[in-house]
Chains A and B, each alone.
Chain A
Amino acid sequence: AQSVTQLDSQVPVFEEAPVELRCNYSSSVSVYLFWYVQYPNQGLQLLLKYLSGSTLVKGINGFEAEFNKSQTSFHLRKPSVHISDTAEYFCAVSYTGRRALTFGSGTRLQVQP
């Protein structure tokens, strides 16, 4: 079965520190990869996506992610977080030919002053 694993349910971090949110997926076929952010009481918003090409993808709000095919990972990083980055982050995978997304369980990023 196709699945997406976000290893950390919560990540506390101090403001201006770097952060990495981990995501692994199960796949034996080509995939498209996405990171979404959900602020409290809101819908999900796309941060970045990987379709093909360069394995390092840059997104909005200073976030970036690296696709690693051999490790089936797509970890999200930011070199210096802000209080406003406090939110829930979801990794999602679209398996080639299938329009629907499979989401991970989410990681709650808590940025502390």
Chain B
Amino acid sequence: DAGVIQSPRHEVTEMGQEVTLRCKPISGHNSLFWYRQTMMRGLELLIYFNNNVPIDDSGMPEDRFSAKMPNASFSTLKIQPSEPRDSAVYFCASSLDDRGKNEQYFGPGTRLTVT
């Protein structure tokens, strides 16, 4: 299995631009999670989906952030407009849902730099 795939691995953009991060979960997994990692705040859950439905988006910082999961094999996290404080590593993870018992498999992350 290829594991969780994220693209791009690195993204550098200017403030005000739209950024789209992509994730392909492991085939057969039905839960998908988006996390953000920064030095100041550590690992934060942004949003998670179960069976393609957003379950908890309370971690999404503000309306500039949106996430979609149109099918079981693809999800996007969009930031519009981007700001320098959005600079971070964004991780996607997937798991086979068993009410939190199963491990989450993480992708390699997307390092976002907003100048």
Contacts and interface: CB of A to CB of B under 8 A. Distances in A.
Given A43-B106, A44-B106, A100-B45, A32 B91 contact: no
Contacts of B4: 43
A65 to B, nearest CB: 14
**Interface size grouping (class) on chain B:** 20 to 34
Interface in B19-55: 31, 33, 42-43, 45, 48, 50, 55
A69 B62 CA distance: 37
11 contacts: A42-B109, A43-B106, A43-B107, A43-B109, A44-B93, A46-B105, A99-B31, A99-B95, A100-B56, A101-B104, A104-B42
A103 interface: yes
Contacts of A98: 100
Given A105-B42, A106-B42, A96 B100 contact: yes
Given A100-B56, A105-B42, A106-B42, A46 B101 contact: no
B100 A97 contact: yes
Contacts of B48: 99-100
Given A32-B100, A49-B103, A99 B50 contact: yes
A7 interface: no
Contacts of B108: 41-43
A92 B56 CA distance: 18
Contacts of B106: 36, 43-45
A43 B43 CA distance: 11
B11 interface: no
Contacts of A32: 100-101
